Amino acid sequence: MRNIISGECIIQETGVEQNDTQALYWFKQAALQGHCASQERLAYMYGNGKGCRKNLSLAALWYKKSALQESSYSQYQMGYCYYIGKGIKQDYQQAIYWFRKAADQGDDDAYNSIGWMYKCGHGVEQNYSLALEWFHKSAECNNSSGWYNLGCMYRDGHGTAQDLQQALYWFKKAQPTGKWNVDEEIRKLEAQLHA
């Protein structure tokens, strides 16, 4: 436990000078002892080159160790790693497996990712209705990706009848986050609805 506290203090500059290399060292000590949160932090540091050279393979390895201890965050990260082939061979079946594990624990990013996989037919049979359901679950958790994806689904009539009013609602909800460039979509939809 002392190792994780030392690592957190060094990362957060709590009474000590920030030093990513030292934080990495302490997180690794705790991670090697099986401490789940330290494994997660170590994976993040390897994945982002904090205190070390960026190493996506080591990031995936430590996320997997943490995911096996039921960390929903690490389970989501494993799904993402498998989905895009980040530090590990791309494998949609493994991606959906890990996203579902995270979703079982209420991870809203996992809900959205499962929706995306159903929308695209990656690792599962394409199913717009199921994609819509998963995007709704994500949106109910105030996930901006879920809001944006619902806007697209209602705009395009995927998994539901086309509903431009609903599309506009979801795009407007996603707009203030700045994550999605929806201004043009909103203008187009408003013009269509008021024509």
* pLDDT for res 12: 54
**Does position 169 have pLDDT exceeding 90, yes or no?**
yes
CB 82 within 8 A of CB 88: yes
Across the range 127-144, mean pLDDT stands at 98
Q: What is the dihedral of CA 58, 145, 187, 158, to 10 degrees?
A: 110
The two tokens of residue 88 are 């590990």
Spell out a b/e string for 134-160, using b for 16 or more CB atoms within 10 Å of the CB, else e: bbbbbbeeebbbbbbbbbbbbbeebbe
* pLDDT for res 5: 47
* pLDDT for res 10: 46
* pLDDT for res 178: 87
Residue with tokens 């789940």: 36
Domain boundaries, the chain: 1-89, 106-195
Across the range 162-189, mean pLDDT stands at 94
- pLDDT tens-digit series, residues 118-133: 999 999 999 999 999 9
- Distance between CA atoms of residues 150 and 172, nearest Å: 11
Which range has the worst mean pLDDT, 38-42, 64-68, 152-156, 178-182? 178-182
Q: Of residues 19 and 104, which shows the higher confidence score?
A: 104
Quick one: pLDDT band at residue 8, thresholds 50, 70, 90? low
Please state which of the four CATH numbers 1.10.287.110, 2.40.50.140, 3.40.309.10, 1.25.40.10 is assigned to the domain occupying 106-195.
Answer: 1.25.40.10
- pLDDT tens-digit series, residues 40-60: 999 999 999 999 999 999 999
The mean pLDDT value of the chain amounts to 92
Quick one: pLDDT band at residue 7, thresholds 50, 70, 90? low
Quick one: pLDDT band at residue 18, thresholds 50, 70, 90? confident
CATH code of the region 1-89: 1.25.40.10
Which range has the worst mean pLDDT, 11-20, 99-108, 128-137? 11-20
Portion of the chain with pLDDT greater than 70, in percent: 91
